[in-house]
């Protein structure tokens, strides 16, 4: 990473910090315990020993590439003038769409995304040309000399406007059950309204990048900052007109991703590969922060209309919603993201009558893409807003509505899945006991009654988050395990290490399954040569599926080892065990060591390698009927956030976050705590701080870290209290563990409702306002608008007395 990029990132990023903190804690715990286990990734990180794309020594003659970006949201290309650019230096080469040797198409879910546009550009910041030169500064200077001759065309940036015109990427998707209209007619209380949630910039510390090199004039090697090496392999092969076996993609480690490199890493890898193919030289592309923020996708903004009905006791009877997803300029992963939205429409609640419809609205903005939560947070915010509105109408605490409507064991969802091992009520009730909710509520009420200029509020959210890719075929993983003749172990999987410590978890799984100390295990970088047909490390499945595949491979080798040990020691097989690197007979260590056993296996010409394959079982879904079991299991949890607002300034502070989380049997507790805290930071940032903005003409105006505010250490609550539920069986993940990456992000939504409650305390009004993020400017407008309202009867101001 060069000095300029480091300087651009000087604002502390809480989401990355928490991820790194999880690594630090993992290392600290291991050092304090005296274990000689696997060196945590954080140690070489803080020593500056780990290498990312821009740190890797370049191959001889490596050229640097930059991109020419469009300067309007929609336009037609008449011609691209490159003469002045190539006159700048003999090393300069400008690559256009016509130079792509294969197919100029990288959209696989829908063929609507050209690598470089041939006739039109569709968003502000779209790459139009690739410029290469011997240095990055020279390439950038040459790129500034490329002149685009064209004309601007009408642009749409609002999802509802696109919907009005019927401009959808795919037809709308509806899931329904029961009789919604009849149910609403019988409800004692019905509320309806609109919910808006903004996008969110990934702000991974390492920007998008790749290094590509043509080998022997026919094979291509790519080092890519990607969550999905196989997707990059397929895209590069298509762009170059090669079979996939002529393209190797390697992903060593990522400096953060959060979904932003699941699909979109392929764009930049293809550009590097095409440039290398055309020039015959190695090519590196590594975006600076501004180009990355302009040219890449973010979390999808949504605008939603909802309607929710309940009986007189607050039992939810009917729910309907229309989700207008701003998909951006191309399909990307929008269909899968919308699928998760409509499959999480009721959040953690059982509602008997449901009708939800999702619209993928085509706009002239960067193609919105995967982001931690993958459409789930947008759905949770809608149902939580609807319940909040219902509580305001009923005049009761929303917590009571939530407690009375949570999923229970055996409930059947509106999409036909029977809920098993349900822990929604367990999570909420344990949380309420932990914070002593009645006493806490009383303290908040007392504080608000005695303070004029500062008000407090609470927000609580329960979570039930489905784990699996919603696209059935993606729920598979492979692993390759070797034991070398000295007893050391190496494992390769499709899992990408990006700061979440998936490599450490897999090493723990391998060590536990084989029965060896963790310091005997090395997890190798991911490459398409060792593990083929990988799926992206995403959907919180990285440890689950790749860990299960590694476990299967290890069990196969372990079986051979046990059999050999029984043969050498001349005892029955069932008496043999291997644990902590020792061979046991009837539970007691024998003279035969692990190293001796491995050497004996090698000497007798027996296989010390195995390939493991895991396909998540029991998944099925019928897209025609919208019924089935799309998730292997659900992760449950609940969070309560306390917040304060300054009534004069319209600012807020997040005072405390208390979380009860369903982690199963934690593989590494310190890593899991770090992931929960990092997800909370990201969720709070989305709910209260991170304001992604575009001008009406589509120009991005939050495309630097000076115009896009991200969480820092002062933003986060000083007290974060995390408690795990007691573990239960989970056959779908290694050793009864559970996924942890995405579910906790939803906890941040509680922060929104904590601040909203504080605003209500300040105004004395039942305020229904659901527009995320709830930044100070919005808070001040709400305070002013409510306090300036005049009672038509008395003529007095409504709101808090000055």
Q: Quickly count: other Cβ atoms within 10 Å of residue 56's Cβ.
A: 14
Query: Is 742 noted as a catalytic residue in this protein?
Result: yes
Cβ atoms of 420 and 791 within 8 Å: the answer is no
What is the spatial distance between Cα 436 and Cα 429, in angstroms, rounded to a whole number?
10
What is the spatial distance between Cα 444 and Cα 435, in angstroms, rounded to a whole number?
13
Return the SS3 of 654.
strand
Cβ atoms of 630 and 417 within 8 Å: the answer is yes
What is the spatial distance between Cα 308 and Cα 405, in angstroms, rounded to a whole number?
13
What is the spatial distance between Cα 554 and Cα 604, in angstroms, rounded to a whole number?
19
Q: Single out the residue of 222, 202, 235 nearest to residue 109, CA to CA.
A: 235
Q: How far apart are the first and last CA of the chain?
A: 53
Catalytic: which of 41, 642, 742, 757?
742
Could you tell me where the DSSP H helices lie in 118-227?
136-143, 159-164, 180-185
Could you tell me where the DSSP H helices lie in 33-135?
42-46, 83-88
- Token code pair at residue 214: 């043509």
What is the spatial distance between Cα 379 and Cα 347, in angstroms, rounded to a whole number?
7
What is the spatial distance between Cα 89 and Cα 208, in angstroms, rounded to a whole number?
26
- Token code pair at residue 556: 């196969």
- Token code pair at residue 592: 């035969």
- Say if residue 773 is preceded by a cis peptide, omega within 30 of 0: yes
* Chain centre distance of CA 597: 43
Question: Helix 776-787 vs helix 749-763: angle between axes, to the nearest 10 degrees?
Answer: 30
What is the spatial distance between Cα 416 and Cα 275, in angstroms, rounded to a whole number?
49
479-495 residues labelled b (16+ CB within 10 A) or e (exposed): bbbbbeeebebbbbbbb
- Residues marked as catalytic: 742
């Amino acid at each position: 990473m060069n000095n300029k990029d480091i300087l651009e990132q000087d604002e502390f990023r809480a989401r990355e910090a928490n991820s790194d903190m999880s690594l630090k804690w993992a290392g600290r715990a291991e050092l304090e315990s005296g274990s000689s286990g696997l060196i945590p990734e954080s140690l070489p990180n803080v020593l500056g020993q780990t290498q990312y794309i821009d740190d890797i020594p370049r191959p001889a003659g490596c050229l640097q590439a930059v991109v020419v970006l469009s300067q309007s949201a929609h336009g037609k290309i008449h011609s691209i003038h490159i003469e002045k650019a190539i006159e700048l230096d003999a090393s300069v080469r400008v690559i256009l769409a016509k130079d792509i040797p294969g197919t100029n198409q990288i959209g696989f879910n829908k063929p609507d995304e050209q690598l470089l546009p041939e006739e039109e550009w569709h968003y502000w910041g779209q790459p139009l040309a690739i410029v290469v030169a011997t240095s990055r500064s020279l390439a950038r200077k040459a790129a500034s000399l490329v002149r685009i001759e064209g004309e601007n065309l009408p642009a749409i940036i609002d999802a509802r406007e696109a919907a009005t015109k019927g401009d959808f990427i795919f037809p709308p998707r509806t899931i329904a059950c029961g009789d919604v209209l009849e149910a609403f007619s019988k409800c004692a209380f019905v509320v309806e309204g609109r919910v808006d949630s903004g996008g969110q910039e990934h702000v991974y510390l390492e920007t998008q990048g790749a290094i590509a090199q043509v080998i022997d004039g026919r094979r291509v090697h790519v080092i890519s900052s990607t969550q999905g090496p196989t997707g990059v392999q397929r895209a590069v092969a298509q762009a170059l007109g090669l079979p996939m076996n002529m393209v190797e993609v390697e992903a060593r480690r990522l400096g953060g991703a959060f979904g932003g490199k699941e699909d979109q890493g392929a764009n930049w890898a293809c550009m590097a590969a095409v440039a290398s193919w055309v020039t015959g030289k190695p090519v590196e592309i590594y975006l600076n922060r501004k180009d990355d923020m302009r040219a890449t996708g973010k979390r999808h903004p949504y605008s939603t209309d909802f309607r929710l009905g309940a009986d007189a006791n607050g039992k939810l009877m009917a729910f309907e919603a229309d989700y207008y997803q701003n998909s951006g300029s191309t399909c990307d992963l929008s269909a899968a993201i919308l699928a998760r939205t409509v499959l999480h429409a009721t959040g953690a609640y059982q509602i008997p009558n449901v009708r939800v419809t999702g619209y993928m609205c085509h706009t002239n903005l960067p193609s919105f893409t995967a982001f931690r939560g993958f459409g789930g947070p947008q759905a949770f915010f809608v149902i939580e807003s609807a319940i909040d509105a219902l509580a305001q109408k009923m005049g009761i605490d929303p917590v009571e509505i939530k407690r009375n409507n949570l999923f229970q064991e055996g409930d059947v969802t509106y999409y036909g899945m029977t809920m098993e091992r349900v822990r929604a009520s367990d999570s909420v009730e344990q949380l309420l006991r932990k914070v002593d909710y009645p006493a806490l509520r009383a303290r908040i009420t007392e504080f608000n009654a005695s303070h004029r200029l500062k008000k407090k509020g609470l927000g609580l959210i329960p979570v039930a988050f489905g784990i699996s890719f919603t696209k059935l075929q993606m729920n598979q993983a492979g692993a390759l395990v070797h034991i070398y003749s000295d007893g050391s172990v190496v494992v390769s999987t499709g899992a990408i290490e990006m700061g979440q410590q998936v490599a450490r978890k897999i090493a723990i799984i391998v060590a536990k399954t084989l029965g060896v100390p963790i310091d005997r295990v090395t997890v190798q970088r991911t490459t398409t040569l060792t593990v083929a047909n990988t799926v992206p490390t995403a959907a919180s499945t990285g440890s689950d599926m790749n860990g299960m595949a590694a476990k299967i491979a290890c069990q196969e080798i372990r079986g051979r080892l046990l059999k050999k040990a029984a043969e050498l020691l001349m005892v029955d097989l069932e008496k043999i065990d291997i644990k902590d690197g020792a061979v046991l007979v009837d539970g007691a260590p024998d003279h035969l060591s692990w190293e001796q056993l491995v050497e004996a296996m090698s000497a007798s010409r027996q296989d010390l390698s195995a390939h493991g394959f895991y396909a998540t079982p029991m998944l099925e879904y019928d897209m025609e009927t919208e019924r089935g079991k799309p998730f292997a299991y659900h992760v449950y949890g609940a969070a309560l956030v306390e917040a304060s607002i300054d009534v004069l300034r319209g600012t807020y502070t997040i005072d405390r976050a208390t979380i009860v989380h369903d982690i199963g049997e934690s593989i590494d507790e310190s890593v899991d705590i770090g992931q929960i805290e990092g997800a909370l930071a990201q969720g709070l940032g989305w709910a209260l701080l991170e304001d992604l903005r575009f001008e009406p003409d589509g120009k991005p105006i939050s495309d630097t870290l000076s115009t896009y505010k991200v969480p820092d250490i002062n933003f986060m609550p000083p007290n974060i209290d995390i408690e795990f539920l007691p573990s239960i069986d989970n056959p779908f993940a290694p050793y009864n563990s559970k996924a942890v990456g995405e579910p906790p992000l939803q906890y941040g939504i509680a922060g929104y409702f904590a601040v909203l409650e504080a605003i209500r305390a300040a105004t004395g009004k039942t305020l229904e306002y659901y527009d995320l993020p709830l930044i100070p400017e919005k808070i001040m407008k709400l305070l002013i608008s409510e306090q300036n309202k005049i009672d038509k009867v008395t003529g007095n101001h409504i709101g808090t007395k000055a």
